[in-house]
Amino acid sequence: MPERIMFTMGDIASAEGALSAGCKYFGGYPITPATEIAEWMALRMPQVGGSFVQYEDEIASITSVIGASWTGVKSMTATSGPGVSLMLEAIGLAVMTETPLVLVNIMRGGPSTGQPTRGQQGDIMQAKWGSHGDYQIIALTPASVQEMFDQTVQAFNLSERYRVPVFVLADETVGHMRERLVIPDEKDLKLEYRKLAAGDPADFLPFKPDEDLIPPMALLGSKYQFYATGLTHDERGYPTDKEDVQLELVARLNNKILHNADKIIDLERFMLDDAKIAVVAYGTPSRSARKAIKEAREAGIKAGMLRLKTVWPFPEDALADLASEVKHIIVAEQNFGQVYYMVKAAAAPTPIHLMAKPAGMPQLPHEILDKIKEIDSL
């Protein structure tokens, strides 16, 4: 399809990004503020020859996505915090079985049912640590309608490349705001697809990794017979309680992401080159920070921003570098402090100042400007 231009909301941009990435299966359960994604997919999936299924709950939704992905179809779901809470057990299964899938979480106020129509960024740690055990996922944090599209495409590419669940973590404001969206000509999009199993089925080992630590994937319904389980498994896919297999598997599930962190992580440096004070932000607060920094510069204060477009794997090296460039770091996030702890661990001993706001309105530009001025006067 040729280039299209729309004035539309982040939720719909994400759905269009999925479709442009070749997603042909959406299994979900509508929830504010992610409902528009399901609504749009219900309309669009039949037009592209894909399937949309609304399930009885989030647990059925996510497990259907895992099953669909194993048939070779790029698959996704979309929900909000309460829905992610229900999906977490299956996220662990997807990690352990190395199932490519995309989960869009339009973050609303929490804990629990919280404030359905108000935004927050309270699910950063949940995305990383919500399921049990030691594992890595990838999580992207868009800040505009265009990025909802672009980063959903990227989410599919990363999930296919690394055989891992990828989260798109957008706060409600980004999900529900409308802006201009340019959907590129499909010829201009670079799309990735998982490595597929090849060779003699008799010799096939479904969980034997290549040098890049990622095993080629056999699909359900293909000539390969295999077994995929949430139990610790050897290269044949068979469950085992051997310690060496457990150690090797857990290390590989983590390292296939961590060793490629520099290829995965996407950051924006804004006015940082001579900055003495850096704001670290993502999603809607990063847009407040951008305004505050421009105004701080007009007032002669050397401020800049490191905007995180990827929060998992966490950009530790970039934060350590930032800590050596600037005198102070402000973390502004729409929660009570989550990325803050990661920044503290990576950037110590540079002073880190938290601007926490676990509520629907993000930190306002003038509030961030006031904080920059306060720190500048120290």
List interacting residues with another protein (CB under 8 A).
5-7, 32, 116-117, 173, 176-180, 284, 287-288, 290-291, 294, 360-361, 364-366
Instruction: Return the number of the residue (11 or 160) whose C-beta is nearest another protein.
Output: 11
CB 133, min distance to another protein, A: 36
Q: Which amino acid is at 124?
A: I
Q: Do residues 229 and 93 make contact, with C-beta atoms less than 8 angstroms apart? A: no
CB 330, min distance to another protein, A: 16
Residue 309's SS3 state is coil
CB 343, min distance to another protein, A: 22
CB 173, min distance to another protein, A: 6
Q: Do residues 224 and 71 make contact, with C-beta atoms less than 8 angstroms apart? A: no
Instruction: Return the number of the residue (7 or 202) whose C-beta is nearest another protein.
Output: 7
CA quadruple 17, 19, 24, 25: dihedral sign: positive
DSSP 51-82: EEEE-SSHHHHHHHHHHHHHTT--EEEEE-HH
Could you give the CA distance from residue 355 to residue 337 in angstroms, rounded to a whole number?
Answer: 8
Single out the residue of 104, 127, 101, 106 nearest to residue 116, CA to CA: 106
CB 328, min distance to another protein, A: 22
Q: Do residues 33 and 106 make contact, with C-beta atoms less than 8 angstroms apart? A: yes
Instruction: Return the number of the residue (145 or 228) whose C-beta is nearest another protein.
Output: 145
Neighbours of 278 (CB within 10 A): 31
Could you give the CA distance from residue 355 to residue 333 in angstroms, rounded to a whole number?
Answer: 7
Instruction: Return the number of the residue (213 or 303) whose C-beta is nearest another protein.
Output: 303
Instruction: Return the number of the residue (79 or 173) whose C-beta is nearest another protein.
Output: 173
Instruction: Return the number of the residue (128 or 290) whose C-beta is nearest another protein.
Output: 290
Task: Scan for tokens 């409902």, then name that residue.
Answer: 35
CB 109, min distance to another protein, A: 12
Residue spans of alpha helices (H) in the chain = 10-20, 35-44, 58-70, 81-96, 124-129, 145-162, 172-176, 243-258, 261-264, 284-298, 316-325, 339-347, 365-376
CB 357, min distance to another protein, A: 14
Instruction: Return the number of the residue (180 or 263) whose C-beta is nearest another protein.
Output: 180
Find the angle CA(62)-CA(66)-CA(72) to the nearest 5 degrees: 140
Instruction: Return the number of the residue (58 or 171) whose C-beta is nearest another protein.
Output: 171
CB 291, min distance to another protein, A: 4
